[in-house]
Structure 1
Amino acid sequence: MDGINTCLSPVTFRWDHHPRSVGLARRALCATLSDWGLVTAEDAALVVLSELLSNAVVHAQVPPGAQVETRFVRGADEVRIEVHDASPEPPKAVNADGLDCGGRGLHLVEVLAKSWGTSFRDGPGKVVWAEVSATR
């Protein structure tokens, strides 16, 4: 990530593995972006967070009691949104032209984020991350 502000620590939250956590995480991200003066990134960042966290909550097969972690990292003019879960399976985009009602979220992430991807993490599972610009 270019221009990480080392004066600000990442903001980390742990969420129950439940769909209601998505709304709670969205509110936490709004407050964080406001504190950081990055409200211009809010619309795109909220969609990206919703898609990444929904994927983790709905699709990640994890042990009972496992939580999902979100981490927000401030850059000079961007926010990095990370979703950590205990499943090693990477997210999979479906054909955007299909007739299914779901599965298009990663296409939205692709459009709204400067970049996104997955990486390993300490412990079991993966991190799915996306960087959203405040100057877009």
Structure 2
Amino acid sequence: MSTRARLTPATPPPAVAYRLPRDGRSVGWARKELRRHLRARHIDSELAATAELLLSVLVTNAVQAQAAHAPVTATPPIGIRFALSAGRLRLEVQDASNEQPVRNKQVEEDEVCGRGLLLVDALASGWGVVYQGGTGKTTWAEVALGSGGGARHVGQP
């Protein structure tokens, strides 16, 4: 080894981003990558489970939104980003749909869909949607590290 070379510990970056195909399998892949990212940061607890659930809802909604938007061959991939800073974990999911996510207040007991954003609202310390000028949106949710929540919905970060 050169005398100028220095060994530095491999610390994960505070934020990572991925592009995923608009496919139902992307939900599991996104959860796996989030789990790996959080373990590298020594976050392996109820917070990690909550973050995985939130990410699952956001990616599932993005897959469904883009499916309604255009054929599979015509839509861009879904973007995901995880960022840790200032005692918060921020999850972002970008899709090509301009449709506003809808939080269903009344969901019948036997319905399979419709509870996702209710869960996000209940579990995240904050969440919202940022529109990208007619080219889609980013839906985000935050979880405070070391605390349990108290959800609030906000339009902008």
Q: TM-score, normalised by structure 2?
A: 0.75
State the match for 2:102 in structure 1: 92
CA distance in 2, matches of 1:79, 1:32: 11
CA distance in 2, matches of 1:11, 1:127: 15
- 1:85 maps to a residue whose letter is D
Mapping for residues 86-125 of structure 1, pairs under 5 Å: 86-99=96-109, 100-121=111-132, 124-125=135-136
CA distance in 1, matches of 2:94, 2:19: 9
Out of 118, 125, 140, the residue aligned to residue 129 of structure 1 is: 140
Out of 70, 79, 89, the residue aligned to residue 69 of structure 1 is: 79
1:53 paired to 2:64: no
Are 1:62 and 1:86, in contact at CA under 8 Å, matched by a contact in 2? Answer: no
Are 2:93 and 2:140, in contact at CA under 8 Å, matched by a contact in 1? Answer: yes
Are 1:17 and 1:68, in contact at CA under 8 Å, matched by a contact in 2? Answer: yes
Structure 1 residue 29: deviation in Å? 0.2
Distance 1:78 1:62, change over 3 A: farther
Are 2:75 and 2:96, in contact at CA under 8 Å, matched by a contact in 1? Answer: no
CA RMSD of aligned residues (A): 2.0
Runs of 4+ aligned residues of structure 1 deviating over 4 Å after TM superposition are none
Q: CA deviation digits over 1:1-23, x for unaligned, max 9?
A: xxxxxx94420011000000000
SS in 2 for 1:39: coil
Are 2:65 and 2:97, in contact at CA under 8 Å, matched by a contact in 1? Answer: no
Q: TM-score, normalised by structure 1?
A: 0.86
Larger-Rg structure: 2
Out of 39, 43, 50, the residue aligned to residue 44 of structure 1 is: 50
SS in 2 for 1:135: coil
Where structure 2 has 5 or more consecutive residues not aligned to the other structure, the ranges are 1-11, 148-157
Where structure 1 has 5 or more consecutive residues not aligned to the other structure, the ranges are 1-6
When the two structures are aligned, how many residues end up with a matched partner? 130
Q: CA deviation digits over 1:69-93, x for unaligned, max 9?
A: 0000112332100000111112111
CA distance in 2, matches of 1:62, 1:31: 32
SS in 1 for 2:117: helix
